[in-house]
Amino acid sequence: MLAEQQQQLIALLQSAVSALVPDASPTITLERPKVAAHGDIASNVAMQLARPAKRNPRELAQQVLDHVLADAASAALIASAEIAGPGFINFRLTHAVHQAVLNAIREQGSNYGLQPARDDKVMVEFVSANPTGPLHVGHARQAALGDAICRLFSSQGHSVTREFYYNDAGNQIDNLAISVQARARGIDPDSEQFPADGYKGDYIVDIAREFTAKSSVEAADVERVDATGDIDNLDDIRHFAVAYLRREQDLDLQAFGLKFDNYYLESSLYSSGRVEKTVAALTAAGHTYEDDGALWLRTTELGTGDDKDRVMRKREGGYTYFVPDVAYHVAKWERGFHHAINIQGTDHHGTIARVRAGLQGLNMGIPKTFPAYVLHSMVKVMRNGAEVKISKRAGSYVTLRELVEWVGQDAVRFFLAQRRADSEFTFDIDLALSHSEENPVYYIQYAHARIHSMVSQSGSTAEAISAADLSLLSAPTELSLLQRLAEYPAMLSQATIDLAPIKWLSGCAIVLPTFTPGITPSASISTIKP
């Protein structure tokens, strides 16, 4: 049922309510019955009004329905209706209502379901890997979810920016540098001399080899870095290794078919003074205190649900990891991104309340729900009936690029976005490669090819299709398909609101959202510095 038709039905219901319960002003919504046999669309307006009107809900529902059917305008919308359960009004729509969607699709073409551009900037931050190794399958899941969510927002007219936050500061970068230095000196990972927290994948050998050969690397968002070959200079090694791995991650993302608009460097938060400025502002606002040599943030008093206060500056010096995150989100806000979404692993759950508490303490008018979060579970990879855990290249995990090389970009994207983000997921390589209806990607691609073949073989011109007699589409299967097509715009809107691309990837997961009258549901690469 198209939005215009829903408005018409709501107007009929509103007219009935005004006549029967003049003082009432209910929010009239329509929804699809859970059981198809119960009708095409339903309203619970009588159940809303029963208690304040002191009326039996089923009797009131019947009176509302009688009033609606007495209006001559209802004949074009309603084929039949009945009262069900405690007072639902279930409507079966006319064939013409279902068939009208094809005219809308013919008129709008590829714009069907899309909303016009609006003045609303949305920042989606995802992947955001440390530049310490190749992207793994967890990053791949973020890439699939993040890009799908970005596409949803774009479909609804929002101006979307994809941002990658590089954690290029901290202990993990130091561990990367000393790992490369050890391999450059010929120290094997199994040796007692190898750093205890060092990285052991073969990519470390590659970096060491390129560094000692005085090679150059250049990523999409950074200037060329020339290796000095001086294995005693840890700063040179660190600089080269980070650039090398940023290039490698660029190649991973290219294999996935994903391009980011901006890259933001954690290190820039320190070099620009943003971190110090943020800490000073929280201290000046009275939200910090010293204890046992450490600086603490009173997160329990800032209304974000944290269960205890958190250390900001450690006793031995240096800030805890959530402090630069607060500074980073201040930068997002100041860049005009008042709608920000972070896609991260479930292991980041504990940081949500801390980051939001820090933002509240700055008194900048930032909502308590900023930023929004989508947390995803990790991915298990299965092949030949056994779990795949080891990658020679990465050392201890399957990489994004390996996954794409095994099954292709389309399969990786679809499989990793076809489940709820917080659900555990097993990526079955054998299933992704199978040519059977059990493989959803193959099934969809096969159906797509068949449809194009049918259109091609029919020989019908665009003019002939436009002149087709739509009244012939009256079989139950045809009406069901037309109903699905009519739901598509509302489904896109609701999936965007819910940050849930699963709604548009799996037809069986689609639920028609409620509809309220008068409300429309809703490139060049650069390194961004403060």
Is residue 173 in a domain? no
Find the range with the poorest average confidence among 136-150, 474-488, 516-530: 516-530
Q: Is the pLDDT of residue 231 over 70?
A: yes
- As a whole number of angstroms, the longest Cα–Cα distance in the chain is 90
Q: What is the mean pLDDT of the chain?
A: 90
Given a cut of 80, whether residue 519 has pLDDT beyond it is no
Band (pLDDT 50/70/90 cuts) for residue 395 is: low
Q: What's the pLDDT tens digit per position in 504-513? A: 444 333 333 3
User: Same structural domain for residues 460 and 481?
Assistant: no
Q: Is residue 411 part of a domain?
A: no
321 in any annotated domain:
no
* Predicted confidence band of residue 394 (pLDDT cuts 50, 70, 90): low
How do beta strands 88-93 and 41-43 pair? antiparallel
Q: Are residues 59 and 100 in the same domain?
A: yes
Identify whether residues 470 and 491 lie together within a single domain. no
Kindly state whether residues 483 and 470 are assigned to the same domain: no
Reduced to 3 states (helix: H, G, I; strand: E, B; else coil), residue 339 is strand
Q: What is the SS3 assignment for 210-262?
A: HHHCCCEECCCCCCCEECCCCCCCHHHHHHHHHHHHHHHHHHHHHHHCCCCCE
Number of domains in the chain: 2
- Rounded Cα distance, 25 and 220, in Å: 57
Residue 463 counted as domain residue: yes
Task: Tell me what pLDDT residue 511 has.
Answer: 32
pLDDT on residue 454:
87
Residue 508, pLDDT score: 37
The span from the CA of 13 to the CA of 17, in Å, is 6
CATH number assigned to the domain comprising residue 10: 3.30.1360.70
DSSP string, 443-488: HHHHHHHHHHHHHHHHT--HHHHHT--GGG--SHHHHHHHHHHHHH
Claim to verify: residue 455 and residue 495 sit in the same structural domain? no
Angstrom distance (rounded) from CA 344 to CA 361: 23
- Of the pLDDT bands very low, low, confident and very high (cuts 50, 70, 90), residue 521 is very low
Residue 120 lies in a domain: no
| pLDDT, tens digit, 9 for 90 and up, residues 126-184 | 999 999 999 999 999 999 999 999 999 999 999 999 999 998 988 899 999 999 999 99
Distance CA 180, CA 186 (A): 10
- Give the pLDDT mean for 401-418: 94
Side chain identity at 122, as an amino acid letter?
V
Q: What angle do CA 120, 121, 123 make, to 5 degrees?
A: 145
| Domain presence at residue 68 | yes
Same domain membership, residue 79 and residue 54? yes
Q: Where are the alpha helices (DSSP H) in 364-439?
A: 400-407, 409-417, 429-433
Please give the average per-residue pLDDT across 208-230, as a whole number: 91
Q: What is the mean pLDDT of residues 394-410?
A: 88
Alpha carbons 521 and 494: distance in angstroms, whole number: 7
pLDDT at 482: 95
Helix (H, G, I), strand (E, B) or coil at 1: coil
Query: What is the pLDDT at residue 520?
Result: 33
Give a yes or no: residue 220 inside a domain. Answer: no
Same domain, 9 and 55: yes
Domain that holds residue 449: 445-474
Looking at the fold, whether 461 and 481 belong to one and the same domain comes out as: no
**67 lies in some domain:** yes
**Cis peptide bond upstream of 371, omega within 30:** yes
Do residues 462 and 479 share a domain? no
pLDDT in tens, 286-325: 999 999 999 999 999 999 999 999 999 999 999 999 999 9
- Rounded CA-CA distance 48/486 in Å is 27
Predicted pLDDT at 522: 32
Q: Which range, of 82-86, 345-349, 388-392, 499-503, averages the lowest pLDDT?
A: 388-392
